[in-house]
Chains A and B, each alone.
Chain A
Amino acid sequence: MKTLVSLGHFLYNRTATMILIAALALGAVSLLLLTLGIAPTTIAVAIAHGSIFSWQKFSHVLSLWIPLLLCSCGLLFTFRAGLWNIGVEGQIICGAIAATALLREGSFGLPPALILTLALALSFFGGGLWGSCAGLLKNRGGVNEIFGGLGLNFVAQGLILWLILGPWKRAGIASMSGTDMFVKELWMYTPPGWRVAPAALLLALATFALTAFLLGATRFGLTVKATGNNPLAARLYAIHPERTGLAAMAIGGGLAGLAGGLQAACVYHRLLPPISSGYGYLALLVVMLANYRIAPVPAICLFFACLAAGSIQLPIVLQLDSALSGVIQGACVVSALLVHGLQKRHKGEN
């Protein structure tokens, strides 16, 4: 009975927190919109209409949800290990580059499914390698992972530009539009009427389940958590914080790289300079909004994906700048940080 009551209190507190965050964010955004003379309901209806009112639109939302979820899963590993992986954008780019290196060469007469699988494996490896670089810089060079990650983002951006404008440019054209498109047989299969590849969707769901399992139900997950909570105490249990942190960075980078591989193989069918599409930074907001917990991540990713897809309606229907969706995202995160901060303070006073 006591357990049930505790569970009830726990769920009540969590629900109340989420409602409070939503109310705060919506209140702030509504006030801003009213100041600008725009009805909040108009915006809400337009965004909902553009994201969830038809399967086609919802499948577009899912195509945005997949890379965001993968990057967020990667960040769960690094945040658990007490590391701020700011280099997700660079890791996405490296994953996309690794996948493109194979896909642009064609299928070699092999089954396309095999080539695509290899390309995605390469993208995981490419992103993981880039994530490991930030980890090694921290372990061996004493470079804070935030600065290391940021620096590596710039390097990755330079690398992708060099490849697109140099060795991988289209015939006779150095174009920011990207490389030539991959041969059509190497586009991931998308059924008629869908705008998302079912295989990519399954891969994202499996990745999330595996992340939840690894972090929540394995010794490795416990090791990562111990490293993040108290690296000094973790050593007493024969845990190597540096090694664990490096593993978390490699996995986090790998998942971001996988997102990059899917962007190249599934969404754009080519490599282009903004292939990371800001998912790295958006995923940081997602995980912060989830208060670094696993369970809320898919729903928050879906909310952000709906905002991104639905915001197209703002210029079309209302002649408003779609950057407004960014304001809503920001308001949500700031509200979450404020509520969590107030809760911590409240607990401290009690």
Chain B
Amino acid sequence: MKHIGILLQALVFSCFLLCPAGSPLLAADYPFGLLLVGPANDHGWSQAHFEAGQAMEKVLPGAKMLYIDKVNPADRQGITIPMLVDDLVSKGAKLIIGNSDDMKDGIREAAAMHPEVQFIHISGDDAITGKSGVNLSNLMGRMEYGKMMAGFVAAMTSQTGKIAYLGPLINAETRRLTAAAYLGARYAWTEVLKKPAADLKFKVSWIGFWFNIPGVTSDPTLVTNSLFDAGHDVVISGIDTTEALVVAGQKKKDGKAVWAIPYDYQGACASAPDACLGVPYFNWIPGYTKLIGEAISGKWKQQFLWLGPDWQAINNPATTTIGFMPGNALGDSQKQALTEFQKALAGGLNLFTGPLNFQDGSSFLKAGTTATDDQVWNLPQLLLGMDGASK
């Protein structure tokens, strides 16, 4: 026993002697922190932010990203947002980005603790509601346009007229995005394909969070399978990960005529390109460049940025916040129709135009009226014609 102990201690000691300590963080003029709700390589929401953060190191001289991924209570049990912010600030971070609606409370608390640090909360609206100090701004993309395109290509491709939406949790953001997808699908169905609106079925299934948490959320793989089994042939994903597309790809290999539309990340179709109709994605580079650039140059001011597509070049990474990358599975005629649809949107087509009713039958927009930004941002219910929970 004693000999084993001596041997092991010698082993540990030699390990420590053999291996030098790693180098500390490199000095940078402007370190900024990025808190990612999911893994940095999720092929979805978090990866889009991570890559934009990396781009800042090239676009903004002196900028250096410090990031922590999987910042959610399930993956980092016991660790809170203020705790992570404290750590990033101690490493010199002068600006911190929280990339999830889920971080709203924690970012607000941390911003109050560190008034000398600037914060960007993605997808929140504290800058409008006044719930935070002037050191917190909000940034979001007008993904409604991306979702309209997703709904459009879904309806143009569907053979059954049954489209499903794999939703995360229910809040104002997810309601407006889901409604936008429905409006895009309905436009394709009624205005392009000239079919009766009643023949279009649009089912929404919420899993409970932005990604799968075993034992807590519904399993997106199982939910997608059940949606396909129920006869839906296109699933539009609203969650941060690619399960819907992966399932569609497996079924496609089995000879089924099904498709999926992932979300968030430009390269998301790579998981199953042959089943992918395209992906509406966020490109955070313009928003990050503006807000971090202003902070670096001492011109920071609290603001709420809700940036849309660059209609002249919808996939230009330097200028567009919302893009749509057509997938391999999108047919030529559908692709042509999508181009026309994009031109119409760029020309002023607004699908949030009345008459539109809420799911419970009450009036949302009277004939001829268009929704204000506030009405779209705070959409209280799904729309009539959509099948799924609103609250």
B391 touching A273 by the CB < 8 A rule? no
A273 touching B79 by the CB < 8 A rule? no
A165 touching B67 by the CB < 8 A rule? no
A161 within 8 A of B: yes
How extensive is the interface on chain A, given as a class? 35 or more
The B128-165 residues at the A interface (CB cut-off 8 A) are: none
| Residues on the A chain within 8 Å of B19, using CB | 34, 39-42
The A42-75 residues at the B interface (CB cut-off 8 A) are: 42, 44-46, 50, 54, 56-57, 60, 63-64, 67
| Residues on the A chain within 8 Å of B368, using CB | none
A80 to B171 Cα, complex, angstroms:
48
The A13-38 residues at the B interface (CB cut-off 8 A) are: 16, 19-20, 23-24, 26-27, 30-31, 34
| Residues on the A chain within 8 Å of B8, using CB | 20, 23-24, 27
In the complex, residue of chain B having the shortest beta-carbon distance to the beta carbon of A24: B8
B376 within 8 A of A: no
A89 to B38 Cα, complex, angstroms:
24
A322 within 8 A of B: yes
| Residues on the B chain within 8 Å of A216, using CB | none
A40 touching B15 by the CB < 8 A rule? yes
The verdict on A57 contacting B86 (CB below 8 Å), with A23-B9, A172-B171, A315-B68 known, is: yes
Shortest Cβ gap from A63 to chain B (Å): 8
Shortest Cβ gap from B70 to chain A (Å): 8
A207 within 8 A of B: no
Per DSSP, are chain A's interface residues mostly helix, strand or loop, or mixed? helix
B257 within 8 A of A: no
A163 within 8 A of B: no
| Residues on the A chain within 8 Å of B223, using CB | none
| Residues on the B chain within 8 Å of A172, using CB | 171-172, 380, 391
Among B12, B104, B208, max chain A CB count under 10 A is at B12
B169 touching A174 by the CB < 8 A rule? yes
A177 to B208 Cα, complex, angstroms:
10
The verdict on A277 contacting B78 (CB below 8 Å), with A39-B22, A177-B104 known, is: yes
Contact of B101 among A161, A165, A177, A272 (CB under 8 A): A177
A57 to B16 Cα, complex, angstroms:
25
| Count, A-B residue pairs, CB within 8 A | 144
B77 touching A274 by the CB < 8 A rule? yes
| Residues on the A chain within 8 Å of B4, using CB | 20
A64 touching B78 by the CB < 8 A rule? yes
In the complex, residue of chain B having the shortest beta-carbon distance to the beta carbon of A34: B15
| Residues on the B chain within 8 Å of A23, using CB | 5, 8-9, 11-12
A266 to B213 Cα, complex, angstroms:
25
In the complex, residue of chain A having the shortest beta-carbon distance to the beta carbon of B80: A267
B5 touching A16 by the CB < 8 A rule? yes
The verdict on A273 contacting B73 (CB below 8 Å), with A161-B216, A172-B391 known, is: yes
A177 touching B90 by the CB < 8 A rule? no
The B320-341 residues at the A interface (CB cut-off 8 A) are: none
Shortest Cβ gap from B276 to chain A (Å): 28
A175 touching B171 by the CB < 8 A rule? yes
B267 within 8 A of A: no
A172 to B25 Cα, complex, angstroms:
43
| Residues on the A chain within 8 Å of B83, using CB | 60, 63, 195, 309, 312
A30 to B217 Cα, complex, angstroms:
36
A97 to B11 Cα, complex, angstroms:
48
A56 touching B67 by the CB < 8 A rule? no
How extensive is the interface on chain B, given as a class? 35 or more
| Residues on the B chain within 8 Å of A270, using CB | 105
B343 within 8 A of A: no
The B77-101 residues at the A interface (CB cut-off 8 A) are: 77-80, 82-84, 86-88, 90-91, 101
A128 to B20 Cα, complex, angstroms:
50
A27 touching B12 by the CB < 8 A rule? yes
A312 touching B79 by the CB < 8 A rule? yes
A11 within 8 A of B: no
The verdict on A56 contacting B90 (CB below 8 Å), with A161-B216, A317-B24 known, is: yes
A40 touching B16 by the CB < 8 A rule? yes
The verdict on A39 contacting B86 (CB below 8 Å), with A176-B102, A181-B105 known, is: no
B66 within 8 A of A: yes
B172 touching A173 by the CB < 8 A rule? yes
The verdict on A165 contacting B1 (CB below 8 Å), with A39-B22, A317-B25 known, is: no
B69 within 8 A of A: yes
B22 touching A42 by the CB < 8 A rule? yes
B230 within 8 A of A: no
Shortest Cβ gap from A298 to chain B (Å): 17
B74 within 8 A of A: yes
| Residues on the A chain within 8 Å of B104, using CB | 177
A27 to B5 Cα, complex, angstroms:
10
B76 within 8 A of A: yes
Contact of B77 among A60, A173, A277 (CB under 8 A): A277
A279 to B217 Cα, complex, angstroms:
21
Shortest Cβ gap from A210 to chain B (Å): 24
B306 within 8 A of A: no
Among B67, B68, B79, B87, max chain A CB count under 10 A is at B87
B377 within 8 A of A: no
A8 within 8 A of B: no
A318 touching B172 by the CB < 8 A rule? no
In the complex, residue of chain A having the shortest beta-carbon distance to the beta carbon of B33: A316
Shortest Cβ gap from B21 to chain A (Å): 5
The verdict on A312 contacting B84 (CB below 8 Å), with A39-B20, A41-B20, A278-B78 known, is: yes
A60 touching B76 by the CB < 8 A rule? no
B347 within 8 A of A: no
B345 within 8 A of A: no
A57 to B82 Cα, complex, angstroms:
11
In the complex, residue of chain A having the shortest beta-carbon distance to the beta carbon of B105: A181
| Residues on the B chain within 8 Å of A157, using CB | 215-216
Shortest Cβ gap from A268 to chain B (Å): 7
The verdict on A316 contacting B22 (CB below 8 Å), with A27-B11, A176-B217 known, is: no
Beyond known contacts A39-B21, A343-B1: 4 more, CB 8 A cutoff? A16-B5, A23-B11, A56-B90, A272-B73
Closest 8 pairs (CB-CB, A-B): A39-B19, A42-B22, A277-B78, A277-B77, A30-B15, A274-B73, A23-B8, A173-B171
Chain B positions within 8 Å of A, measured between CB atoms, are 1, 4-5, 8-9, 11-12, 15-16, 18-22, 24-25, 66-70, 73-74, 76-80, 82-84, 86-88, 90-91, 101-102, 104-105, 109, 169-172, 208-209, 213, 215-217, 380, 391
26 contacts between A and B (CB under 8 A): A19-B5, A20-B1, A20-B8, A23-B12, A40-B16, A41-B16, A41-B19, A50-B87, A57-B87, A64-B78, A67-B78, A172-B380, A172-B391, A173-B171, A174-B170, A176-B208, A177-B102, A178-B105, A267-B80, A274-B73, A279-B78, A308-B78, A316-B68, A316-B91, A317-B24, A317-B25
